[in-house]
Structure 1
Amino acid sequence: MFSGRQRYWWFQMIGWGGLFLIHLFFAWFYGKFDTPEDRILFFTRALSFVVIGVILTHLMRMFILRLHLLGHNWGLQLLNFILLSIITASICSIIEQQVYKQFELFTQREIDVLKRRGIWLVSFNNMISWFIYMFIWNAIYIIYHYTRDYQQQQIDTLQLKSLVRELELKTIKSNINPHFIFNALNSIRALVDENPGRAREAITELSNILRSSITMHKTESVTLKNELAIIEDYLALEQVRFEDRLAVSYDIDSNTLEKQIPPMMLQMLVENAIKHGISREVQGGLVYIAARLSNNLIELCVQNTGKLTAEKEDTGFGLNSIRDRLKLLYPGRSGFEIRQLNPETVEAKIELPA
C-alpha cells in the first residue's frame, strides 16, 4: 500500500500530530485560551514543539541507519538508543529554549521560575520531558522494525520450505519416472515377435504411460479418473506378460473420479502389488483396486494375492516415495499403511484429504 518512506512519514505525522492534539486538549481543559494572546502563544509554542520533534527524530533516524544500530544485539541496541535519546533530548531542549528566547515565547510565570531556579535546572527538567518523547519514539521504531523483520523472516522461511519441498518432490519424481518406464518396457518387449498387432496396441498404451509420466513433473495432482486410465494401460501391458495369471477387479465410487490425488501414486501401489505379489505366485492372483469417500477422506486401496515380506515392502523405493510425497504434500493430514489382510491377501491403503 505504502512504500517504506511513505509509511515512515505517515507515522511521523500521526505521532507528532497526536501529541499536538493532546497538548491542545489539556490547554483547552485548563482554560489557557482565555485571550487571543494565549491562543497565539499556545499555537506558536506547539508548532515549534512539533517542528523540532519531527526534524530531530528524522536526524536521529538517519543516524541510526547510517551507523546500522539496528544490526546489533538487543543489549547493545538498548544502550545505544538510551544514549541517543539522551543526546537528542538535550539538543531538543537547547533548541526549544533558544526559540522561546528568540521569539519571546516565555510567559511571565516561566521567567520568574527561570530566575528563581536557574536556567540549568529548568533546562534539565525540560530535557527529561524530551527524553521521554525520544525514548518512546525509539521504542516504537525498534518494535516496528523488529516486527517487520520477523514477518519478513517468516515469509523467507516459508518460501525456503516451499522451495525445498518442491525440490524434494522433483527429486522423487525424477526417480519414479525411469523406475516406472523400465517396468513398462519389460511388459511390452515379449509382444514384438509373438503378436505384432497387439504390440502396436501396447506401444499406444506405453505412449500414454510415458505422456503421463512426463506430465507428472509439471503438476502435483491429477484426477483419479486420469490416474485410473493410466493404470488400465499399465495393467493391459502386464496382462500380456502374465496372461490368465493376472485378474483385475475395480470398485470405484463414482464420487471420487473427479477428486485430485498425487500423480502415479495409486499406480505405484498397483505396480508394487504385481511385482511383490502376483509375480511370486505360481498360480498368479487378483489385483483389487478400490476408491471411496469416508469422513472427508479419499481412501485408495489396492489388494493383491500374496504375502507381505517386511524387508522388501518397507524399504522399497516405491513405497518410500509414497510416504515421502504424502509427508510433503499433506503433512499430518494423510495416512498410508500396508498389511497382511489375511493369509492370502496383502492390502495397501492411502488416505488423502478429500
Structure 2
Amino acid sequence: MFKQISKYWWCQMLGWTAYFSVNTFFAITFSNKVPGIFHYVNVLVFMAFGLISTHLFRNIIHRFNWVNYSFEKQLLLFFAMLTGTGILLYLGYYFVLSFVWKGKAMFAPVFVGIASSFIITAIWWLIYFIWHYIERNRSSQVGQLQLETTVKELELKTIKAQLNPHFIFNALNSIRALVDENPQRARTAITELSNILRSSMATEKAETVSLENELNIVKDYLALEHIRFEERLSVQYEIDPDTLEMPVPPMMLQTLVENAIKHGISRMISGGTVFITSRLIGMQHEITIENTGQIVENNINGHGFGLQSTRQRLSLLFGNRATFDIRNKDEKTVEARVVMPLL
C-alpha cells in the first residue's frame, strides 16, 4: 500500500508532521508544560489549511505546464504562489478558529498569524521549486545521454533503413545508364550520392544541423531521383530565408522527402509533385512536406522506421514542445508536418 503513495504525498505528510512536532516542541520548551487542547486544535487547523492551500495552488500551476517557463517567469510564479497560498492559509485558519472558539482569543494575533502563514508557505514553495529544478536538470542530463546513444544507434539504421539498399541500387543503375550517354551528369550524380552517404555517416557527430545543410542533402537526393523519374517528378520549394539557420535533427528532412517519394510519387503512374515549405509561425519553426498520393487507412499515423525515428529524435531534442504528424490533406495530397520551438 505504501508503495502506491507518490513522493509528493510522502513529502506533504512528512513535512506537516515535522511542522507539528517542531511547533509542539517549542510550545513545551517555552511554557514548561504540556500544551492544552487549544494548542493542538490551532496547530491542526493550520496544518489542514496549509495542506489544502498548497495542494490547490500546485494543481493550478500544473495545468499551465509551468516547468517549461523561463527562469524569470518561474520567479514571478513563485511569489504569486507564495502570496496566494499564504492568504488562503491564513484566512481559512482565522475564520475556522473564529467559529470554533466563537470570538475567544485562542489563536495567534493577526500579524503573527499572517507572518507564520507566509513563512511556512515560503519554505514549502522554496522546497517545491528547488526540487523540480533539480529534477528537471537531472532529466535533461538523462535525455542528453539518451539522445547521444540514440544518434549512435541510428548511424547503421540510417544507412540500412533511411538510405535503403533499394535506393542505392536504383541510384547506381541510373548512374550506370548515364555513363555513356552523359558522362558529365554521371560524375555529378556520383558526387550527389557521395554527399548523401557522407551526411548519413555524420549523424552521430551532431544533435542538430542547420536547415540549409539539410536542404543541400535533400536537393542532392532529389537530383538523383530525377534521373529515375524524369518528368514524372516535380519539386517545389517555399523556404523562408530566416529559417535557413534554424536547427533540425540531421537527416530528418531527407527521411520525410524519401518517404514522400517511396510511398507517394513512385506509386503514381503519372508521378506527382513534392512541395517543401519552411516558415516561422510565432515562436515556432514549421516544416511541411506535401506530396501527391494517399495514405491507406490502416497506416494513417505512419509507423515506419523513418517516421518513428523522426518522432523519437524530436521528442529527445525538444520534449513535448515539438510535434510531428502525417495525414491525408485532401483526396490527392499527403502532408507531413513538423513543428519545432525556436531555441
Same fold (TM over 0.5): yes
Mapped to 2, the partners of 1:172 and 1:226 lie a distance apart of 19
Given candidates 336, 339, 342, the residue that maps to 1:348 is: 336
Q: Residues 151 and 323 from structure 1, CA distance in 2 versus in 1: closer, same or farther, beyond 3 angstroms?
A: closer
Identify the residue that residue 237 of structure 1 maps to in structure 2: 224
Percent of matched pairs sharing the same residue: 45
SS in 1 for 2:163: helix
Paired positions, count: 209
SS in 1 for 2:290: strand
The one-letter code sitting in structure 2 at the alignment partner of 1:277 is G
Shift of 1:155: 6.7
Whether 2:261 is the aligned partner of 1:274: answer yes
Given candidates 244, 254, 258, the residue that maps to 1:257 is: 244
SS in 2 for 1:291: strand
Mapped to 2, the partners of 1:251 and 1:153 lie a distance apart of 41
Q: 1:220, 1:263 within 8 Å by CA — same for their partners in 2?
A: yes
Identify the residue that residue 189 of structure 1 maps to in structure 2: 172
Q: 1:184, 1:234 within 8 Å by CA — same for their partners in 2?
A: no
String of CA shifts for 1:8-36, please: whole Å, max 9, x gaps: xxxxxxxxxxxxxxxxxxxxxxxxxxxxx
Whether 2:317 is the aligned partner of 1:329: answer yes
Q: 1:273, 1:287 within 8 Å by CA — same for their partners in 2?
A: yes
Identify the residue that residue 144 of structure 1 maps to in structure 2: none
Given candidates 312, 317, 322, the residue that maps to 2:305 is: 317
Mapped to 1, the partners of 2:138 and 2:323 lie a distance apart of 29
Q: Residues 155 and 286 from structure 1, CA distance in 2 versus in 1: closer, same or farther, beyond 3 angstroms?
A: closer
Mapped to 1, the partners of 2:275 and 2:265 lie a distance apart of 12
1:121-270 superposed matches below 5 A: 159-182=141-164, 183-196=166-179, 197=183, 198-270=185-257
Mapped to 2, the partners of 1:157 and 1:256 lie a distance apart of 29
Q: 2:274, 2:292 within 8 Å by CA — same for their partners in 1?
A: yes
Q: CA RMSD in A?
A: 2.6
Identify the residue that residue 50 of structure 2 maps to in structure 1: none
Mapped to 2, the partners of 1:229 and 1:152 lie a distance apart of 40
The one-letter code sitting in structure 1 at the alignment partner of 2:174 is L
Identify the residue that residue 338 of structure 1 maps to in structure 2: 326
The one-letter code sitting in structure 1 at the alignment partner of 2:314 is L
Mapped to 2, the partners of 1:206 and 1:273 lie a distance apart of 19
Shift of 1:312: 4.2
Mapped to 1, the partners of 2:216 and 2:149 lie a distance apart of 28
Q: 2:148, 2:204 within 8 Å by CA — same for their partners in 1?
A: no
Q: Residues 210 and 158 from structure 1, CA distance in 2 versus in 1: closer, same or farther, beyond 3 angstroms?
A: same
Given candidates 270, 275, 299, the residue that maps to 1:288 is: 275
Q: Residues 311 and 298 from structure 1, CA distance in 2 versus in 1: closer, same or farther, beyond 3 angstroms?
A: same
Unaligned runs of 5+ in 2: 1-13, 15-131
| Structure with max Cα Rg | 1
SS in 2 for 1:273: helix
Shift of 1:339: 1.0
Unaligned runs of 5+ in 1: 1-73, 75-149
Shift of 1:156: 6.3
The one-letter code sitting in structure 2 at the alignment partner of 1:339 is R
The one-letter code sitting in structure 2 at the alignment partner of 1:168 is T
Mapped to 1, the partners of 2:189 and 2:240 lie a distance apart of 28
Identify the residue that residue 306 of structure 1 maps to in structure 2: 293
The one-letter code sitting in structure 1 at the alignment partner of 2:152 is K
Identify the residue that residue 123 of structure 1 maps to in structure 2: none
Shift of 1:173: 4.1
Q: 2:203, 2:250 within 8 Å by CA — same for their partners in 1?
A: yes
Q: Residues 200 and 337 from structure 1, CA distance in 2 versus in 1: closer, same or farther, beyond 3 angstroms?
A: same
String of CA shifts for 1:164-197, please: whole Å, max 9, x gaps: 3321233234312332333541332223442111
